[in-house]
Amino acid sequence: MSFQEPIHDVAQLASVELFTPEFEESLWFFHDVLGMTATEDDGKSCYLRAFEDPYHHSLKLTRAPHAGIGIIGWRASSPQALDRRVAAIDASDNPGKWVENNTGYGRAYEFSTPSGQKQHLFWDVDYFKPTEEQKSKLLSRAQKRPLRGIPVRRIDHVNLLCKDVTRDSDFMMEKLGFRKRENVVLGGDELASWLSVSALVHEVAFTKDNAGPGNRLHHLAFWFGNSGQMLDLADITRDYGLKLEAGPGKHGVSQGYFMYIIEPGGNRIELFGDVGYLIFDPDWKTRTWDESNFMDGGAVWFGGDLPQDFFVYGTPIVEAAMEENAASEAEPAE
Ligand code: FE
């Protein structure tokens, strides 16, 4: 029996860049509402991190004309692991290049998914250095829990809209060692997949972009570790006029407690309450949801249905698709 030797060369999701046309309002959301700590602002981007994120930043918030996603940063498991993955991608028909002078991490290998989503893989990182005031007595905590908003503990995952879920998933599995934990196949078409390099169900997910050109953000997720905090945040979103799109509820896929907020710049942010379930089985087989069960527990296990916008909206926003969606929702049911 042949068994594919697993690749353990990518360690974790380290950072994601978001574009925002409403910079000050977005910064208020991440800093004041989600309690993230700003570490640097170079005039183009502000760098922020959750209080247990260990590095210089986990979010790069960039001033831009439109909402959307920039570069996704992954930390390799070792310098040797980085070299192995670079060799694998260099040998493919979609090679990358080395880029220097990055903020928060050292030399990085820049490459794209087949759909064109830019990513960086690196080993050298700048660790966050708390001030005396910020230092926690907990030796495992990168800084004290902030006294702002409902502070998130760490970055969790990113969900990308793409034109070909299978092609992008295969690339992440074959070149980087991701494992496909769950997916959705409807009518023989793979519409979504959840992939991870760790015991988490996913650090990245791909969703078919039925409403746009692909290479868009569906959502970026941060983790609380305590689903009760989502109720506090839901209360705050109502008081401060933020758009609470869905939740709090529980997904069947990943078993995560979710809540989706549209931040002021337009990007969808998921707040993840707990870890869902963890996978330690080295021979885990992809769990496939289909017509018989996805809308009966896969999408939402409990907590109310996801709105139609959830399956159409992403950033950059495709206005025509949103107008079409609004028109179809306004039509009387037959
Ligand atoms: Fe998610």
pLDDT tens string 136-168? 999 999 999 999 999 999 999 999 999 999 999
Whole-number Å distance, alpha carbon 90 to ligand 1 midpoint, is 30
Does the pLDDT value for residue 285 go beyond 50? yes
The DSSP code sequence of 160-193 is EEES-HHHHHHHHHHHH--EEEEEEEETTEEEEE
- Per-chain mean pLDDT for the chain: 95
Q: Which domains does the chain have, with CATH numbers?
A: 10-330 (3.10.180.10)
Note the Cα 206 to chain centre separation in Å: 10
Once rounded to an integer, what is the mean pLDDT over residues 1-10?
A: 88
Does the pLDDT value for residue 25 go beyond 80? yes
The pLDDT value given to residue 12: 98
- 3-state DSSP assignment of residue 145: coil
Report the percent of the chain where pLDDT is more than 90. Answer: 90
Strands in 97-99's sheet, in edge-to-edge order, are 37-41, 45-49, 59-63, 10-20, 68-76, 118-122, 108-112, 97-99
List the structure tokens of 186: 């409807």
The pLDDT value given to residue 320: 79
Once rounded to an integer, what is the mean pLDDT over residues 3-9?
A: 92
153: Cα within 13 Å, side-chain hemisphere = 13
Whole-number Å distance, alpha carbon 159 to ligand 1 midpoint, is 6
Whole-number Å distance, alpha carbon 48 to ligand 1 midpoint, is 20
The pLDDT value given to residue 146: 97
Q: Do 293 and 58 contact (CB within 8 A), yes or no?
A: no
The pLDDT value given to residue 264: 98
Parallel, antiparallel, or unpaired for β 179-186 and 97-99? unpaired
Whole-number Å distance, alpha carbon 137 to ligand 1 midpoint, is 32
pLDDT tens string 107-135? 999 999 999 999 999 999 999 999 999 99
Whole-number Å distance, alpha carbon 270 to ligand 1 midpoint, is 6
Q: Do 284 and 239 contact (CB within 8 A), yes or no?
A: no
Report the percent of the chain where pLDDT is more than 70. Answer: 99
Does the pLDDT value for residue 292 go beyond 70? yes
The pLDDT value given to residue 334: 46
pLDDT tens string 227-243? 999 999 999 999 999 99
pLDDT tens string 160-201? 999 999 999 999 999 999 999 999 999 999 999 999 999 999
Whole-number Å distance, alpha carbon 255 to ligand 1 midpoint, is 10
Q: How confident is the model at residue 313 (pLDDT cuts 50, 70, 90)?
A: very high
Least confident of 93-97, 262-266, 278-282, 292-296: 292-296
pLDDT tens string 33-59? 999 999 999 999 999 999 999 999 999
Whole-number Å distance, alpha carbon 91 to ligand 1 midpoint, is 32
Q: How confident is the model at residue 327 (pLDDT cuts 50, 70, 90)?
A: confident
